């Protein structure tokens, strides 16, 4: 699952393993990859929430800022169109 980038399935499998070896770290990796997919798909609020939940994992704090930037940008675009 992990090698096939099936992040949801891999997360479930690693979660089921509990504290076995590096399972906890791999759970975070799966969640991080899922958050990246949300970001790449334009689901900025959802991606921001997912990165926020990851805390300091990898560059999650920077990704949260990036998501907020996109949300603000699109809110401004919508506001301009409504004028």
Tens of pLDDT, residue by residue over 19-34, are 999 999 999 999 999 9
pLDDT at 18: 95
Tens of pLDDT, residue by residue over 22-73, are 999 999 999 999 999 999 999 999 999 999 999 999 999 999 999 999 999 9
Burial, 63: exposed, middle or buried (Cβ in 10 Å; 0-12, 13-18, 19+)?
A: buried
pLDDT at 82: 87
Q: For residue 83, give the 3-state DSSP assignment.
A: coil
Mean pLDDT over 1-12 rounds to: 96
- Whether the model clears a pTM of 0.85, i.e. scores above it, the answer is yes
């Amino acid at each position: 699952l992990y090698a096939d980038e099936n992040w949801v399935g891999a997360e479930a499998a690693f979660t089921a393993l509990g504290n076995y070896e590096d399972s906890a770290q791999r759970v975070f990796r799966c969640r991080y990859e899922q958050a990246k997919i949300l970001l790449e798909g334009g689901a900025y609020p959802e991606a921001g929430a997912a990165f926020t939940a990851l805390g300091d994992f990898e560059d999650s704090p920077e990704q949260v800022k990036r998501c907020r930037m996109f949300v603000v940008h699109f809110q401004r675009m919508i506001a301009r169109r409504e004028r």
